[in-house]
Amino acid sequence: MSMQVLFGQLLVGLINGSFYALLALGFAIIFGLLGIINVAQGTFYMIGAFSAWMLLNYAGIGYWPALVLSPLITALIGMAVERALISRIYKLDHIYGLLLTYGLMMFIMGTFIFFYATAGRPYPVPADLLGGYNLGFMFLPKYRAWVVVVSIALCVATWFVIEKTPVGRNLRAATENPMLTRAFGINVPALLTFGFGLGVALAGLAGVLAGPIYTVSPLMGGELVIVVFAIVVVGGMQSIFGAVVTGLSFGVLEGLTKVVYPKGSNLVIFIVMFIVLLVKPAGLFGQEK
Amino acid sequence: MTTSAPAQTDVSATRSRVPQYVMYGVGLAVLLAAPFFVYPLFLAKVLCYCLFACAFNLLLGSVGLLSFGHAAFFGSAAYVAGHALKEWGLPFELAALIGTGAAGLLGFVFGYVSIRRQGLYFAMITLALAQMVYFLAFQLPFTHAEDGLTAIPRGKVLGLFDLNDLYVLYYTTAAVFVAGYILISRITNSTFGQILKAIRENQPRMISLGYRVNTYKLVAFVLSAALAGLAGATKTMVVQLASTVDVHWATSGDVILMALLGGVGTLFGPVVGAGIVEMLQFYLADSGLPIQMVIGAIFIVCILVFRRGIVGELQRLRGG
Amino acid sequence: MADAPSLALRDLQAFYGDSHVLHGVSLDVSAGEVVTIIGRNGAGKTTTLRSIMGMVERRTGSIMVAGQEVIAAAPEKIARLGVGYVPEERGIYATLDVTENLMLPRRLNHRGMSLEAIYKLFPNLYERRHSQGTRLSGGEQQMLAVARVLRTGASLFLLDEPTEGLAPVIVQQIGAAIELMKSEGHTILLVEQNFRFAKKIADRHYVMERGRIIDMAPRADIERRDAQIQQYLGI
């Protein structure tokens, strides 16, 4: 086992872990605030990637503006969906929320397949991020380093917004006690819409980052959300820290397994989840009510 | 978190104007006559999915647990039975038995870890576990990865009747379906089923009364998994194929839709739902419309405005 | 608008699911008054306050706050009309620290107390300002619950059992805070089981039983009717 291979796979693992972390973070925010399992989280990841592709191919708008525009577009679509569909079922058992977002995922995926078929479309690495660094024990492509750095920066920024700003304070209050928070004059329904938009924007951003690495296709993100499920079951949904750390760890774990026992790399995450469930049913960081 | 979906109704409720046994008599007659009007192979396949949906609904309707990975049981039994039929040359009854047993065993293992969490967590865990099975299907030698198990021989049933005769095939499948349906109906209306319902309605109370709720839930889970396996094994015999589609998450989603569309709170609903979804897939196969779009749209409509499902709404109109 | 009551309830009915909790509650609170609702447990006092705040699913009848009909209004709208709510369970957020708990309720105008003034009134809160909200003692949490609505500039305050389970020393502090609010001309509707406390500060008392107002006693009559009121309270 050469150093190159090991670190190469670790990098891939870190990148996947970054995407897992971003998706899990958005997912946890949505679940905490709305109580909804957003099965369509992977679909919004796809929407983020596709909108970047569309911006480039239809409007000539490149990667750097897309980094801002695509998450925005994703957020707008998400907020529209929350207002039109999801908000209608808050009063019901939350299992219906899961089923609704599953239906949403299928419908959106199907619509994209209808217009764009399933083949992957390439999205170029931005010129500024071509090439890489030779570190001796491995070659580090600039773009991939960028992805990891941006993802972690986004997670930190999200943490900052939630923990240190008035909006974040309102979000936390609405998560803990929505009715009382309304009694303090805060428009919680609007906050829920915003929260959903924020949660899916994180997924959309991950999609833009993923574009140049994986091809852009309507099938993107379908299997990703199942990993997100495993992450929140293991890491607990109570803390941003838990979601992000578990997401990154799972990515790295996958990467390592690919080196040691490639056939097991798909399975290792779920095996870990299985073991955690046996040993610590409430998850590693969480306390479930 | 228990669902507030309507609990499965007592089949022997005497409030209905038309006695239950007349309804079942009509149903049986339709079942017996159907292959003379509709292609028996298609009907047999649909019946397998009807049983699958009913088995799934045993868990959701009675216990209120939404399993998002039931394809794992359906598909693993499909593979095991397929292997038994093809590689070991076993007769259908034995292959079905082994498939059912395998699914039940898997159900025990998965159920054991999933039952510890409630509601949404439970659903997520079942999906993640099923995904494991999906990946295994690509890697285990006996499943032949993307190709799946093909050209599976049907053999004979009871050592006498050749299952390649489409009428024999159909009636055997119908018999399996009816047996499974009766079993599910009996379980739902038994004391065991009442206890499950009570657990679903007020678990803390049942715990305080001394019931070992997790044991009850696990038993229900295993039964549901085993019967789903029976459906999968039979399906393998009917279509002579077991593939990764059988263990894919979309199949898990499909069976949820079948139960939802037909009526989660009813015994017969899933049968109707399965029939509709299978027909949809058949007719849409050649159209340009991706099946995901249609399935997704139906899901959304059902959740928003049609949660009782077809049979559920019919029951409500009848005042039942 | 000076003559219109700050708060007027007419035939308020409230339901929790199928449970019919309020059976036609009518009462008035004029601007600057301190009015209490007294009664036994389960009489519907808390439900009345929650209904005013828009926190009860089904309510019919009429609730007028500052001259506006709010029977069908959302809680945030009602709060923004200048209503400050101190719930029975205090409602201190575990995921917020003391300062954040204080800053959470939306500031409506500049008439509310400044943060400095609040910390002066409740020095304990200043000391614990970075503690997690639920790490405070019961008394401190109650002070926090009262303090945070003082900051908003609300003019009508709904206080639900502010002295429940508190040591006499804290009860005094709460009493002082309420006296301060009264002296500033604010309107207060108070639910209190502790009649000795209520007696001292209220202008009028409504007696509630099983979802209905059954009596009303102005301050002047309290001494004379003491025995009757004790009977109402089941003491």
Strands B156-157 and B161-162, by their bridges, are antiparallel
- Say if C and A touch: at least 3 Cβ pairs within 8 Å: yes
- Any C CB within 8 A of A166 CB: yes
Query: Does B12 score more than 80 pLDDT?
Result: no
Cβ distance of B4 and A233 shorter than 8 Å: no
Query: Does B209 score more than 80 pLDDT?
Result: yes
- One-letter amino acid for residue B314 of the chain: L
pLDDT (0 to 100) of residue A241: 84
Quick one: angle between helices A188-210 and A63-84, nearest 10? 140
- Say if A and B touch: at least 3 Cβ pairs within 8 Å: yes
For A169, the closest of C54, C85, C96 (CB atoms) is: C96
The C-alpha atoms of residue B178 and residue B169 are separated, in whole angstroms, by 14
Q: Residue ranges of chain A with pLDDT lower than 70?
A: 1, 286-289
Tokens of B314: 């019919």
- Say if B and C touch: at least 3 Cβ pairs within 8 Å: no
pLDDT (0 to 100) of residue B9: 47
Percent of chain C past pLDDT 70, that is, above it, reads: 98
Using an 8 Å CB-CB cutoff, list chain B residues near A273.
Answer: 125, 128
- List Cβ neighbours of C112 (8 Å cut-off, separation of 6 or more): C150, C151, C152, C153, C154
Using an 8 Å CB-CB cutoff, list chain A residues near B117.
Answer: 233, 277, 281, 288
Structural domain boundaries enclosing B91 = 20-247
Strands C34-39 and C187-191, by their bridges, are parallel
For B66, the closest of A95, A106, A278 (CB atoms) is: A95
Please report which confidence band the pLDDT of residue C105 belongs to, taking 50, 70 and 90 as the band edges: very high
Tokens of B36: 């003379």
Residue B285 counted as domain residue: no
Q: How far is C32 from chain A (nearest CA, A)?
A: 21
Angle (nearest 5°) at CA C193 between C188 and C197? 65
Residue B38 counted as domain residue: yes
For A103, the closest of B116, B132, B303 (CB atoms) is: B303
A216-220, A272-276, B12-16, B32-36: segment of lowest average pLDDT: B12-16
Tokens of B98: 């082994």
Tokens of A246: 């578990």
Residues of A numbered 117-146 whose beta carbons fall under 8 angstroms of chain C's beta carbons: which are they? none
- Any A CB within 8 A of C79 CB: yes
A81-90, B213-222, C188-197: segment of lowest average pLDDT: C188-197
Cβ distance of B123 and A98 shorter than 8 Å: yes
For A106, the closest of B123, B139, B296 (CB atoms) is: B296
- Any C CB within 8 A of A1 CB: no
Cβ distance of B121 and A226 shorter than 8 Å: no
Tokens of B268: 């017969």
Query: Does B262 score more than 50 pLDDT?
Result: yes
Using an 8 Å CB-CB cutoff, list chain C residues near A175.
Answer: 95
- Any A CB within 8 A of C87 CB: yes
Residue B311 counted as domain residue: no
For A183, the closest of C85, C100, C103 (CB atoms) is: C85
pLDDT (0 to 100) of residue B18: 66
The C-alpha atoms of residue C25 and residue C37 are separated, in whole angstroms, by 11
pLDDT (0 to 100) of residue B3: 44
CA distances, A116 to each of A62, A105, A110, B226, C212 (Å)? 20, 16, 10, 40, 65
Using an 8 Å CB-CB cutoff, list chain A residues near B294.
Answer: 110
pLDDT (0 to 100) of residue A280: 81
Q: Which residue is closest to A180 within chain C, CA to CA?
A: C91
The C-alpha atoms of residue B250 and residue B239 are separated, in whole angstroms, by 19
Cβ distance of B292 and A95 shorter than 8 Å: no
For B139, the closest of A110, A226, A263 (CB atoms) is: A263
The C-alpha atoms of residue B90 and residue A228 are separated, in whole angstroms, by 41
Cβ distance of A172 and C103 shorter than 8 Å: no
- Any A CB within 8 A of C157 CB: no
pLDDT (0 to 100) of residue A69: 96
Cβ distance of A88 and B129 shorter than 8 Å: no
Overall domain count for chain B: 1
Cβ distance of B129 and A274 shorter than 8 Å: yes
Torsion of CA B112, B114, B119, B121, to 10 degrees: 160
- Any C CB within 8 A of A179 CB: yes
DSSP state of B34: G
How many helices (H) and strands (E) are present in chain A, helices listed first?
Answer: 11, 2
- Any B CB within 8 A of A128 CB: no
Q: Which residue is closest to C81 within chain A, CA to CA?
A: A185
Of residues B116 and B72, more confidence is placed in B72
Q: Burial level of B212, CB count in 10 A (0-12/13-18/19+)?
A: exposed
- Any C CB within 8 A of A181 CB: yes
Quick one: angle between helices B291-305 and B249-262, nearest 10? 40
Residue B307 counted as domain residue: no
Cβ distance of C106 and A184 shorter than 8 Å: yes
- Any B CB within 8 A of A275 CB: no
pLDDT (0 to 100) of residue A1: 57
Tokens of C67: 């001259």
Q: Is A82 left (phi over 0), alpha (psi -120 to 50) or beta?
A: alpha
Q: How far is A54 from chain C (nearest CA, A)?
A: 40
Residue B127 counted as domain residue: yes
Cβ distance of A169 and C105 shorter than 8 Å: no
For A266, the closest of B129, B135, B249 (CB atoms) is: B135
What residues does each domain of chain A span? 17-221
Please report which confidence band the pLDDT of residue B2 belongs to, taking 50, 70 and 90 as the band edges: very low
Domains for chain C: give ranges and CATH numbers: 7-232 (3.40.50.300)
pLDDT (0 to 100) of residue B294: 93
Query: What subunits make at least 3 CB pairs under 8 angstroms with C?
Result: A
CA distances, A277 to each of A283, B103, B111, B139, B224 (Å)? 7, 21, 11, 24, 21
Q: Which residue is closest to B5 within chain A, CA to CA?
A: A93
Using an 8 Å CB-CB cutoff, list chain C residues near A169.
Answer: 96, 100, 103-104
Distance, CA of B89 to chain centre: 26
Residues A217-269 pLDDT 10s:
999 888 899 999 999 889 877 777 888 999 999 999 999 998 888 888 889 99
Residues B79-121 pLDDT 10s:
999 999 888 888 899 999 999 999 999 999 999 999 888 788 8
Please report which confidence band the pLDDT of residue B289 belongs to, taking 50, 70 and 90 as the band edges: confident
CA distances, A40 to each of A18, A30, A48, A103, B215 (Å)? 18, 11, 12, 8, 33
Residue at token pair 């919004």: A44
Q: How far is A114 from chain C (nearest CA, A)?
A: 42
- Any B CB within 8 A of A120 CB: no
Query: Does B16 score more than 80 pLDDT?
Result: no
Using an 8 Å CB-CB cutoff, list chain B residues near A107.
Answer: 292-293, 296-297, 299-300
Tokens of B227: 């019967």
- Any C CB within 8 A of A288 CB: no
- One-letter amino acid for residue B290 of the chain: P
Query: Does B197 score more than 50 pLDDT?
Result: yes
